[in-house]
């Protein structure tokens, strides 16, 4: 009887570990998926930065130059925020409890989603501005 109870407890413990590892992996996968989505905008960011730089150098209208400079700053700020996030992100989470890992990954998911929103807004705004002012 003791052996059966011990075996059941061991199985339960192993299944519990598997579930927590799966939860951690699923949340990490969500963070990485959002990261990959953000990284797919990298080329657009560079293109828009270059086009805004060209506008700043060629357009005579000071209001347009000012707006282009503001949009450049927004793109740069979002890009730097992404670089900092990537530099500080720790996917391994060694020597942390399940609760600590889940809290960390939930926070990272929130951060990367915020960066995604910031980048999307900056790319969209700068793209519209470039379209409107490219031929002026």
For the cut 90, the answer to whether the pLDDT of residue 94 exceeds it is no
State the Cα–Cα distance between residues 17 and 59, nearest whole angstrom: 62
pTM for the model stands at: 0.79
**What pLDDT was estimated at residue 4?**
59
Three-class SS of residue 112? helix
| Residue among 23, 48, 18, 35 nearest 122 (CA) | 48
Indicate if the pLDDT at residue 11 is higher than 70. Answer: no
| Rounded distance between C-alpha atoms, residue 82 and residue 124, angstroms | 17
pLDDT digits (tens, 9 = 90+) for 95-110: 899 999 999 999 999 9
37-87 tens-digit pLDDT: 999 988 999 999 999 999 999 988 999 999 999 999 999 999 999 999 999
Q: Which of 125, 120, 131 is nearest to 41 (CA)?
A: 120
pLDDT of residue 134 exceeding 70:
yes
Q: What pLDDT does residue 77 have?
A: 94
DSSP symbols for 46-112: HHHHHHHHHHHHH---HHHHHHHHHHHHHHHHHHHHHHHHHHH--SS-TT--HHHHHHHHHHHHHHH
């Amino acid at each position: 009887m003791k052996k059966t109870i011990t075996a059941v407890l061991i199985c339960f413990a192993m299944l519990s570990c598997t579930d927590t590892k799966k939860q951690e992996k699923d949340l990490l996968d969500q963070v990485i998926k959002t990261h990959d989505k953000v990284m797919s905008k990298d080329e657009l960011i560079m293109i828009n930065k270059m086009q805004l730089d060209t506008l700043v150098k060629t357009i005579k209208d000071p209001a347009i130059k000012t707006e282009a400079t503001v949009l450049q700053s927004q793109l740069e700020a979002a890009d730097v925020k992404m670089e900092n996030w990537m530099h500080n992100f720790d996917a391994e989470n060694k020597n942390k409890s399940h609760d600590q890992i889940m809290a960390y990954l939930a926070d990272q998911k929130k951060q990367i989603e915020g960066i995604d929103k910031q980048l999307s807004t900056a790319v969209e705004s700068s793209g519209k501005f470039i379209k409107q002012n490219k031929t002026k």
